[in-house]
Amino acid sequence: MTRQLITSALPYINGIKHLGNMVGSMLPADVYSRYLRARGHEVLYICATDEHGTPAELAAKEAGLPVAEYCAQQHDVQKAIYEGFELSFDYFGRSSSPQNREITQTIARQLQASGFIEERAIRQVYSVEDARFLPDRYIVGTCPHCGYDKARGDQCENCTRVLDPTDLIDPRSAISGSSELEVRETKHLFLLQSKLADEVEGWVDEHGKDWPVLASSIARKWLTEGLHDRAITRDLEWGVPVPADTWPELAAEGKVFYVWFDAPIEYIGATNEWADAAPDGESRDWRSWWYEADDTVRYTQFMGKDNVPFHSVMFPATQLGTRDAWKKVDFLKPFNWLNYYGGKFSTSQQRGIFTDAALEILPADYWRYFLMANAPESDDTNFTWELFASSVNKDLADTLGNFVNRVLSFSRKRFGDEVPAGRAAGEAEQKLGTEIAELLAEYEGQLEALQFRKAAQALRALWSAGNSYLETKAPWLEAKTDLDGAALTLRTAMNLIHLYAVVSAPFIPASSAAMRSAFALAGDTRGWVEPEQASSLDLVPAGTPFTVPPVLFAKITEDDLEAYRTRFGGAEADPS
């Protein structure tokens, strides 16, 4: 089988991420990874914290910590949250790792040797008091458009206008607060994307034709507008340093690479970290995934739409410009925005539900299912507590959880603690088996196509088929006049529970494990159930001991909703 390399956009280091970040990259990548592993593929799912750039330095300064210590702490905090969501990373690395530093510098040297990096003099704001050049985000002042007095030199967060530092009224240093600023000449490295434009366009034409329209249209928009040479170094204290063996003058000045140059390279760097972290006796070869791997590896990227330009154009331009055999993306899966009551989730303004708070109030499976069932694939989608409660109560509590509880509780009460035998399957069971096989094939097809909302719909239909069968057969009535018939119905329903446990695991892994552990099946290591196997509904034989698990999903009450709205905001949430 083809090996499957999967990456999700790197979460930035400055603070806990909100649910929009989760559904826009990491969670769908996890669902897909779990599905592929279940089908027997060799999967490597890589992610990392993105730790370089101006925001990391500013956040560390605000926290009163050295930036390296701040990033180490925040990495551990984020990692723990993602473990709480049961994200099955094969490795969750750090862009500040020695491995990423080495590979970033190697790729920069390759670009230099191939003639695609040029040193240029530019004019930049210099703080006399801080004795350093200031990146755009290190300059704050009053926005000339809306009057917001804490606008950054790259963009006003209040009105979202893109700015240059020279646009600001009363500009000052974000480090010292000094307004003693000058414009001075300094040198930086530029990636000559203009020289690579034709190659990148040809590559997108060839490889992007099967991407979702959202991804291919963004890439083509950038190409149509023309690729411009881009500065790939910054004047910061924290970042991958420019190598002194290639650019001694810039290295002596303390230049580091721009975060958007080294961050995508961290996919490779984190794979190197994964290889180096192999336990004793295990050998891992990171190069086989990233270097001359095109014939053996299929590479899928997951990201929000704001990251598409960098991954569909800038990073491929970097890789192409090395003139070396670096693995490039095969399929790019983008997502639109998940909004909160019509307004954006905002990390900086703490608007909406953040991942740590989500896990405080409800288990991960509630969030995993809702987010994927409402994934913003074709357009932006909207989170409301009312929609969330409806989805949890109808789909998880009523359709799946209630089915499991009704079947197992009634069977134990009427037939004891083993799967009852009853008579052989009849016409109703054969019809159900055919329906289940068709729905499972639909579910598989949507996951293969990375259509997560449609996959969730197919999964929900699988659960609903069991409920329809149970309502039609009504074993609680059958048992009064036909014990063998009731036993057959319950045995069939228990086989459905086992099937649901296996195939629902990509979406709701903890609940699936609870369902699966209800049956004492010897050697139950099945990764998946194929449609032709599912149709027989006989993988859990009569006589198998079982237990009734605790309630899988508690309903969200009106009191719960009121508490959530009070804590996080509801319909009155600021849509700005």
Strand partners, 8: 302
* Residue 481 burial by Cβ neighbours in a 10 Å radius (0-12, 13-18, 19+): exposed
CA distance 216 to 311: 11
CA 281, 287, 292 angle in degrees (round to 5)? 145
202-223 burial: b if 16+ Cβ within 10 Å, else e: ebbeebbeebbebbbebbbebb
Q: Which three-class secondary structure state does DSSP give residue 549?
A: coil
Which amino acid type is present at position 407? V
Q: What is the DSSP secondary structure assignment for residue 354, as one 8-state letter?
A: B
Rounded (10°) CA dihedral 262, 267, 269, 272: -170
Count the residues in the chain. 576
Closest CA to 49 of 70, 18, 27, 79: 79
Q: What phi and psi values does residue 338 have, to the nearest 5 degrees?
A: -95, 115
Annotation: CATH topology of 385-534:
Isoleucyl-tRNA Synthetase; Domain 1 (1.10.730)
* Residue 200 burial by Cβ neighbours in a 10 Å radius (0-12, 13-18, 19+): buried
**What confidence tens digit (pLDDT) does each residue in 501-551 have?**
999 999 999 999 999 999 999 888 999 999 999 999 999 999 999 999 999
DSSP 450-499: T-HHHHHHHHHHHHHHHHHHHHHH-HHHHHHH-HHHHHHHHHHHHHHHHH
CATH architecture assigned to 3-114+261-335: 3-Layer(aba) Sandwich (3.40)
| Strand arrangement, sheet containing 381-383 | 343-344, 338-340, 381-383
Do the Cβ atoms of 3 and 296 come closer than 8 Å? yes
The tokens describing 349, both together, are 């303004």
**What confidence tens digit (pLDDT) does each residue in 71-117 have?**
999 999 999 999 999 999 999 999 999 999 999 999 999 999 999 99
Q: What is the DSSP secondary structure assignment for residue 144, as one 8-state letter?
A: T
Q: What is the pLDDT of residue 349?
A: 64
DSSP 207-236: HGGGS-HHHHHHHHHHHHH----EE-EE--
Q: What is the pLDDT of residue 573?
A: 47
Helices (H) and strands (E) in the chain, counts: 23, 17
Helix intervals (H) in 114-254: 193-207, 213-225, 248-252
Q: What phi and psi values does residue 180 have, to the nearest 5 degrees?
A: -80, 80
Closest CA to 536 of 384, 414, 433, 426: 433
Domains of the chain: which residue ranges? 3-114+261-335, 117-190, 385-534
CA distance 278 to 286: 11
DSSP 290-332: HBS-TTTEEEEEEEEGGGHHIIIIIHHHHHHHTTS-B---SEE
Q: What is the pLDDT of residue 166?
A: 81
Do the Cβ atoms of 12 and 319 come closer than 8 Å? no
- Walk along the chain (576 residues) and give the pLDDT tens digit of each residue: 789 999 999 999 998 999 999 999 999 999 999 999 999 999 999 999 999 998 898 899 889 999 999 999 999 999 999 999 999 999 999 999 999 999 999 999 999 999 999 999 998 899 999 888 888 888 999 999 999 998 988 888 788 677 888 889 999 998 889 999 999 999 999 999 999 999 999 999 999 999 999 999 999 999 999 999 999 999 988 999 999 999 999 999 999 999 999 999 999 999 999 999 999 999 999 999 999 877 889 999 999 999 999 999 999 999 999 999 999 999 999 999 999 998 887 655 667 899 999 999 999 999 999 999 999 999 999 999 999 999 999 999 999 999 999 999 999 999 999 999 999 999 999 999 999 999 999 999 999 999 999 999 999 999 999 999 999 999 999 999 999 999 999 999 999 999 999 999 999 999 999 999 999 998 889 999 999 999 999 999 999 999 999 999 999 999 999 999 988 877 554 444
| Residue range 117-190, CATH number | 2.170.220.10
The tokens describing 117, both together, are 């990096």
CA distance 179 to 125: 11
Q: What is the pLDDT of residue 175?
A: 86
Radius of gyration in angstroms for the set of CA atoms belonging to the chain, rounded to a whole number: 27
Which amino acid type is present at position 234? R
DSSP 56-122: HHHHHHHHTS-HHHHHHHHHHHHHHHHHHTT---SEEEETTSHHHHHHHHHHHHHHHHTT-EEEEEE
Strand partners, 267: none
Q: What is the pLDDT of residue 58?
A: 86
